Structure formats: structure tokens, C-alpha cells
Amino acid sequence: MSLTVVGSIAYDAVQTPHGGRERMLGGAAVHFALAASFFDEVRVVGPVGDDFGDEEYAVLHGRNVITDDIEHVAGGKTFFWSGIYHENMNSRDTLETDLNVFEHFDPKLSQASRDCDVLFLANILPSLQLNVRRQCDKARFVALDSMDLWINIAKEPLIAAISEVDCVILNDGEVTQFTGEREIVAGARKIMDLGPSAMVVKLGKYGAALVTPDESFWIPAFPVDFVADPTGAGDSFAGGFVGCVAAHGGDASTDVLRLAMAYGTAIASFNVEEFGTERVARLTGEEIVARVEELRRITAFDTVALSLR
């Protein structure tokens, strides 16, 4: 099996109540690829500039991510984002977004990337997502992420892209913005009416929900002792989630998707404990499995027949 991810490769600057970094490796495709690398062979498609160096490649290669389709734009600069998290860590303000080489990104997939069994379309222009999705016509499972900006200014292309994927991943605010529905299941069902057979609704520090045509599934965030930096948590989640589906041969049965929610949750919880990719870059499979098992323990209960009055 092989997994391709298309999306941003970036330098991030962040400030949180616990400190900050002036320049760290980031981007949705990077966080996704590191997380997914525990499950499958992962190819990253995305652009970088002259400033993207050996140290950054080393982080990806350290997790055996295949970087052949990272496009080096000569004379260009890598996408840069900077933001500051509020005191409660729940929300953040973007200070600066320099698209740089990302501005004219036109994904070019090698044959190996096109031949993927599983595809993740990270948050980029919806028309590009559709373009890539159609190139990967053998993919058995395709998931897509997006953001408020595209719901605002490119809703029709986003609907077109959504209609050709198996699974959409958005946060609860975006689902409400997209559908006008306040309730998560109702909103997710409206999006699934466009074509997808599953929808993941990210709830930030409260966890995530999986909605399929017949049921829903809910998992809390793994309770960590300390959150240093939430940046990339959603993409790490997606990497664990989609990676787990890939490890099951693209099988999107309910049991696999639920387990995938747990793996995504576990990896995201490591991501937030340190800045950027720092923690996930040295993560081990054993650590991930231990948190998945702990997630089962902290959510399980037995129903007992009580005779109610």
C-alpha cells in the first residue's frame, strides 16, 4: 500500500503561553506525513523554496517519508505562517501569512504518487484538490481537509472536490459555517449528502466525532499533562486517521474508522506536547499504541440494568 499527501510545507513562527519558536518546520503536509509514516509508505507533494534545507529533509527522512515529489522552486521562498495563541490555547490570531512558492502551486505528481492506494488532500485551493484527486484514480480511499477561507470564497469548487472524495475532515465551526447546522451530526450528514461516505468533525481540545450514514462515534482528546503548542494537531490527527485506514488496505469499515479515530487522537496528543514537529519526529510506535489502549480504558463503561422509577 502507499499513501500520497498533497499540501503545504512551511516554516511557522508561533507564540503560546508557554513560549515560542521563530522558525520551525511545519505545514499541513509535513505534520500529516510524519504521523502517517507509522502506518504506510508516504509520499509528500508540495512546493518549497531555496531556504528549505537538509535539516528539514532530515526530519522527513528520519520517518522514512518519501520526498521525491517535493518541488523545489528555484529563487523562491518557502511558505511562512506566524501566529499567536490566546491564553486559553483554544483560539489563535494569524500574524502573518506569506504564501511565497505556495501562491502559484500547481501540484505535479510522479507516477508513483499518482498510483497511491490512499490519498490525503490537505487544505489547499479546492480546485487543486479536485485536480489531484482525479489524477489518483486508483485510490481506494481519499480524504480531504479544508478551511473557513475556502468555504467563504470558493464554496462551489469545494463542493465539487468534496463530491469526489470518501471522507471530509473539518472542525465543528467549519461544519456550521458550511451547512448552517448547529448540531454536528446534522451538519455532517448535509456534507455527506454531497457524496462522501464518512465525515470527521474535529472538536479541538474536546476530541473528534466520526459520522457515517448510519451512526456516529465520539472520542475525547487524549488528556495530556501539558500543551506547549497546538499547531499541526489537526494534521497529525489526519495523518494517524488516514494512515490507519491505509494500514487496513483502504478499508473504510466502521471498525477500521473507529480505530483510526483513536490512532489520530493519540498522535495528535503527542504533537501538542512540544513545538512544531519536535515530539512526533522522535515518537515511537510503542508510545502510540500505549495511548490508543489508554484511550480505550478512559472511555469504556459497562451498561448495567438499573430498574428506574
Rounded to an integer, what distance in angstroms lies between the CA atom of residue 61 and that of residue 155?
36
Rounded to an integer, what distance in angstroms lies between the CA atom of residue 170 and that of residue 10?
21
Rounded to an integer, what distance in angstroms lies between the CA atom of residue 33 and that of residue 173?
25
Least spacing, CB of residue 146 vs its own copies, in Å: 20
**Complex with its own copies: residue 71 or 294, whichever CB lies closer:** 294
CA distances from 270 to 13, 50, 304 (A): 19, 30, 35
Least spacing, CB of residue 92 vs its own copies, in Å: 14
Residues binding its own copies (CB under 8 A) = 17, 37-40, 64, 88-89, 176, 182-186, 203, 206-207, 209, 215-220, 223-227, 244, 247, 255, 258-259, 261-263, 285, 288-289, 292-293, 296-309
**Complex with its own copies: residue 109 or 283, whichever CB lies closer:** 283
**Which amino acid, one-letter code, is at 17?**
P
Least spacing, CB of residue 27 vs its own copies, in Å: 21
Least spacing, CB of residue 173 vs its own copies, in Å: 9
Nearest to 151 by CA among 119, 120, 187, 185: 187
**Complex with its own copies: residue 139 or 292, whichever CB lies closer:** 292
**Complex with its own copies: residue 75 or 309, whichever CB lies closer:** 309
Strands (E) located in the chain = 2-6, 10-16, 19-26, 41-48, 70-72, 79-85, 92-98, 118-121, 141-145, 167-171, 198-202, 208-211, 216-219
**Complex with its own copies: residue 86 or 134, whichever CB lies closer:** 86
**Complex with its own copies: residue 170 or 219, whichever CB lies closer:** 219
Rounded to an integer, what distance in angstroms lies between the CA atom of residue 232 and that of residue 24?
12
Nine cell digits for residue 233: 494537531
Rounded to an integer, what distance in angstroms lies between the CA atom of residue 78 and that of residue 95?
17
Nearest to 212 by CA among 244, 251, 178, 166: 166
Least spacing, CB of residue 293 vs its own copies, in Å: 5
Least spacing, CB of residue 165 vs its own copies, in Å: 23
Least spacing, CB of residue 195 vs its own copies, in Å: 22
Nearest to 27 by CA among 306, 238, 254, 300: 238
**Complex with its own copies: residue 22 or 251, whichever CB lies closer:** 251
